[in-house]
Structure 1
Amino acid sequence: MSRPIATIVGSQGFIGAALLRNLTAAGWDCRAPSRDMRWPVREQELGHVFYCAGLTGDYLQRAADTVEAHVSLLVRVLESTTWESLVYLSSTRLYDGLGAELIAQENTLLPVSPQVPRHLFDLTKLTGESLCHVLGKGRARVARLASVYNSPDDANGFLPSVLHQVAQAPVGASVVTDSSPHASRDYIHLPDVLRALVDIAVRGTHTVYNVATGENLRNDELGQLVRRLAGRELVFRSQQPVAAPAVIDIDRLERDFSWRPARVTSVIAPWLTDMAHTQ
């Protein structure tokens, strides 16, 4: 029996590299094309394509690279003729302008404006999503990811970087962050993300899936956990009020794949408890 084939575009990144390791260990035949790969590909079998290429924090400083990663390269990959499915990694940050009174569903209309600089990210991601719908011919799907974290040892993103600082600080010390205590996010654990991406690729029936926990964690709640379990004080430089984000609806993943993601507090509580016994 032949092994399933996966092609991971952006395999050098945080999620792409983890997906490559995970699928290889599971027995998949994995291809990790280099940055100078010539697309479109019309001869080599690509199998299930996971499109993990993208920019996050530096997208405004690298606007041209953002368009290339989120849109232009995607077009060339979609124009390849030898892929079975494609999963395009998008973001639940697209829902940031909705407000806490709304539930963010996959078909919710999204507020974007070309005059708002930070919406460059939203507009390019939405263009990529639209290309999947138009050029994908029913084989391309979109995974809108919440804030993905792995562990304090893999400090990608706000939450793991804060936990890494807490782990490095002595018990009783203060850890200072530039964020506001009022800010909040839906945090999704990397192993859950990897499982969801494979399910979407192999068994997905919808064109867009929210990959999240459906719960937001406020920074001040995180601070209370750090104080109670790790014995450190989390100090927020900014006291600026921050509008609460919408709650992300995950009913589609629950129905299609019996989705039961780990709650962020359940995942990080043992880490914080261990930190209380280290100096």
Structure 2
Amino acid sequence: MTGLATILGATGFVGRRLQARLTAEGWDVYAPAKGDKSLFGRDMGVVFYCAGLTADYDRRPFDTVEAHATLVSELIQAGRFEQLIYLSSTRLYDGQAAAELDETSPLLFDVADPRRVYDLSKALGENLTLTRTEGRGAVARLANVYDWEPEAPGFLSEWLIEAARTRDLRLDSSPHVARDYIHLDDVIAALIAMSEKPAQGIVNVASGDLTANGEIANIFLQAGWHVDFSRDISPAPPPRSDNARLLALGVTPAPVKDVVRRYLEGLKA
């Protein structure tokens, strides 16, 4: 499937790769600049809503609400789109009292916690997308996305980038911290698959497994790197994200340890 696509947040980590992939596949891609409200007066085709804040959400709470909820509200009211795919996060599952959650699980938040502005604003964006688009909206809840392109965000991305510079790694984390990691290319494949099969509701774009830092460190050690961690804490793991809906779309994420192993082999070549 090809056609007209609009990417909000096209200069971001996911948006850049998505724009490149859609363009290569023959889509007509429109990537408006941040703050360009003229987009609401034109046909937008399939909208991939990649705009948002991550690491600095607590320092910029009002910008976070603007990016996660206000802008998507304006877009939905304009209504000039065929489909809206809103990028959210499996971070909404953190702190929930369950070992495993799927997309139908109800979410609970402490509204008095200032750091919940991220979760609450994303949840509002999800709600508007699912309930105010006349069946044209879907939500992609992304797990911990990683890559090794320059300035790729996130702990594992920074770890992989640093591995290209040195074989002696000192990481500011604990070997016992576990996360659900999914490679950026698998995320892009998932978003395109969602555009080809509308009305998917919420989809966990996740590997479905939690992998501890220590497990990944063992891959580095076997490949000839030295890895030290600055901390030795054992926090409670986040809930595992069920990814049956993602698999049903025909997207099977590559296991993170396999991807890391191939990446290190390429560095040694």
TM-score by length of 1: 0.91
Structure 2 unaligned blocks of 5 or more: none
1:36 is aligned to 2:35: yes
1:106 is aligned to 2:103: yes
**Distance in 2, Cα, partners of 1:154 & 1:228:** 26
% identical equivalent positions: 39
1:187 is aligned to 2:184: no
Equivalences for residues 264-275 of structure 1 within 5 A: 264-275=256-267
Please state how far the C-alpha of 1:199 moved relative to its aligned partner. 1.4
Aligned match of 1:134: 131
Aligned match of 2:254: 262
Equivalences for residues 42-81 of structure 1 within 5 A: 42=41, 44-81=42-79
Aligned match of 1:241: 234
**Distance in 1, Cα, partners of 2:266 & 2:246:** 32
- Contact kept in structure 2, 1:40 and 1:79, CA below 8 Å: no
SS of alignment partner, residue 140 of structure 2: strand
Structure 1 unaligned blocks of 5 or more: none
**Distance in 1, Cα, partners of 2:189 & 2:263:** 22
- Contact kept in structure 1, 2:172 and 2:230, CA below 8 Å: yes
Change (3 A) 1:107 1:39: farther
Task: Compute the RMSD of aligned alpha carbons.
Answer: 1.8
* Structure 1 stretches of 4+ moved >4 Å: none
SS of alignment partner, residue 107 of structure 1: coil
Worse overlay, 232-241 or 52-61: 232-241
**Distance in 1, Cα, partners of 2:56 & 2:2:** 37
Of residues 79, 82, 85 in structure 2, which corresponds to 1:84? 82
**Distance in 1, Cα, partners of 2:146 & 2:200:** 25
C-alpha deviations, 1:63-119, integer Å up to 9, x for none? 1110100011111111122200000000011111135x5212001122211222321
What number of residue pairs does the alignment pair up? Answer: 269
Please state how far the C-alpha of 1:21 moved relative to its aligned partner. 0.9
Please state how far the C-alpha of 1:158 moved relative to its aligned partner. 0.9
**Distance in 1, Cα, partners of 2:85 & 2:2:** 19
Worse overlay, 123-132 or 263-272: 263-272
